[in-house]
Amino acid sequence: MNAKDILSEKIAGEITLSPKPGQTIKKWRTEFGISQTKLADFLGLSPSVISDYESGRRKSPGIQAVKRIIEAFIEIDEKKNNGKVLRKYQFISKNQEGILDIKEYPYSIPVKKFIEEIDGKLLTSKVTDIKKNIKGFTLIDGIETIKTISSASYPNLYGWSTERALIFTNIKYGRSPMIAIRIHPVKPSIVVYHKPGAVDPLAIQLAEREDMPLVITNLPLDELRKKLGSLGR
């Protein structure tokens, strides 16, 4: 199966299984950088139809309509951006050592809500971009990942979207993960440290330079995983 088919299957599964399919359509439309008007024109529909789907005012589209929407995403991306979004997902793999859990949410979750749900404490007082959304999370064994990760495998931490929470457990001071994030061009929406021994002030400074929320949570790991999994339902 090629990258286009894999991505199409992924989007179709998310939309059809989502408790809020309209919001899932919006999530992917935004990911592809396509306006409601552009999508409606491509499908030969009124923009109000797309708006009604996304807001939930109109009944969820059927399988054939979902198929046409996904085909529109892919074709517009290929024509408009030379397949930029498709290429971003071409080499995605979930086999990176150190990944304990990875999940995509069916629709965007506000960062503020995410922090509340995991009983998080915000460490970055100078961060202004707290209004971001996330589309998934990756739970990472900090020590194992630092030992095995390379520049080529780093993108594997991001699953199907870079707009996500990277959650590091099994860390002492949190300096190394933030340095790795700082030097790599791909950035998450939020970084979470699970039960760190302490947090190095440098990690906080680097997060603030990136205008990136840095959060700690002290929930037991099993409880944290349950809360992470329940978001988006």
Protein fold of 99-230: 3.40.1390
Burial of 83 (0-12, 13-18, 19+ CB in 10 A): middle
Phi, psi of 203 (to 5 degrees): -60, -40
User: Which is nearest to 123 in space by CA: 218, 219, 207, 220?
Assistant: 207
Q: What is the pLDDT along the chain (233 residues), one digit of tens a residue?
A: 466 877 888 888 889 888 889 999 999 999 899 999 999 999 999 999 999 999 999 888 888 999 999 999 999 999 888 888 887 776 554 455 678 888 888 888 999 999 999 999 999 987 666 778 898 898 988 776 666 665 656 667 777 778 899 999 988 888 888 888 888 888 899 999 999 988 999 999 999 998 899 999 999 999 999 999 888 77
Show the tokens assigned to 35.
């306006």
Considering just the CA atoms, what is the radius of gyration of the chain in Å? 18
Q: Determine the Cα–Cα distance for residues 187 and 226; give it in Å rounded to an integer.
A: 25
In contact, 188 and 133? CB cutoff 8 Å: no
Residue ranges per domain, the chain?
3-88, 99-230
Taking CA atoms, 95 is separated from 91, 156, 184, in Å, by 11, 8, 20
Burial of 146 (0-12, 13-18, 19+ CB in 10 A): middle
Protein fold of 3-88: 434 Repressor (Amino-terminal Domain) (1.10.260)
Strands (E) across 44-162 are located at 99-110, 121-122, 133-141
Q: pTM surpassing 0.75?
A: no
Q: Determine the Cα–Cα distance for residues 93 and 185; give it in Å rounded to an integer.
A: 18
